[in-house]
């Protein structure tokens, strides 16, 4: 008599039960910087901190995926600051949803020249999306600084993140022209 049949059946049943009872971790994403127009929400998510020279900003709201969701109040808020004498101004781009999260950028202009781009807010639904954004954002920043526009090639493997980043940069450029 063969013992393999019952063993395979027990293993299959245990695997099905494990898959059906699996729960993703529930967490809360905290607003990292007041005044970005976002609220905190629940869902599987991780906060992020991006920027250049260690002075970038953090994250804000929005759980994602199938595990939760959050609303983002005032997600199209305009933020700007600057010193009139030197012509330097920082403008916040719109919050762009991209399927795996949402992001917005701060673009610093000196006259008409883009001198810096940093992430104002970044929310992701899972840790893999966080890793992709961590790898892509520095490359996207450099592309914007080199092109002096939102017309960038993007990062292979981070297509949605690249598109959202470019859209937020374009929104900041449009707002700076007003």
Is residue 16 a part of any domain in this protein? no
Tokens representing 131? Answer: 């890793």
Is residue 143 a part of any domain in this protein? yes
The pair phi, psi for residue 163, each rounded to 5°, is -65, -40
Domain that holds residue 33: 27-176
Residue 33, pLDDT score: 37
Is residue 68 a part of any domain in this protein? yes
The pair phi, psi for residue 86, each rounded to 5°, is -90, -10
Q: CA-CA distance, 146 to 40, in Å (whole number)? A: 34
Write the CATH number for 167.
3.90.1010
Residue 37, pLDDT score: 36
Residue 169, pLDDT score: 97
Cβ atoms 60, 39 nearer than 8 A: yes
- Provide the pairing of β-strand 41-43 with 27-29: antiparallel
Task: Per-residue pLDDT tens, the chain, 178 aa: give them.
Answer: 577 877 778 878 877 777 677 665 443 333 333 333 333 333 333 333 333 333 333 333 333 333 333 333 333 444 445 544 468 999 999 999 998 999 999 999 998 899 999 999 999 989 999 999 999 999 999 999 999 999 999 999 999 999 999 999 999 999 988 6
């Amino acid at each position: 008599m063969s013992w393999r049949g019952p063993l395979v059946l027990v293993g299959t049943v245990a695997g099905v039960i494990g898959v059906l009872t699996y729960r993703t971790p529930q967490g809360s994403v905290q607003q990292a910087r007041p005044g970005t127009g976002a609220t905190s929400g629940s869902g599987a998510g991780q906060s992020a901190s991006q920027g250049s020279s260690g002075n970038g900003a953090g994250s804000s709201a929005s759980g994602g995926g199938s595990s939760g969701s959050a609303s983002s109040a005032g997600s199209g808020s305009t933020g700007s600051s600057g010193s009139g004498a030197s012509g330097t101004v920082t403008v916040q781009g719109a919050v762009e949803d991209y399927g795996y999260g949402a992001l917005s950028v701060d673009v610093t202009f000196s006259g008409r020249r883009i001198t810096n781009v940093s992430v104002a807010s970044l929310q992701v639904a899972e840790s893999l999306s966080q890793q992709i954004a961590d790898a892509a954002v520095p490359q996207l920043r450099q592309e914007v600084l080199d092109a002096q526009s939102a017309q960038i090639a993007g990062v292979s493997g981070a297509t949605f993140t690249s598109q959202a980043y470019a859209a937020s940069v374009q929104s900041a450029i449009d707002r700076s022209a007003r």
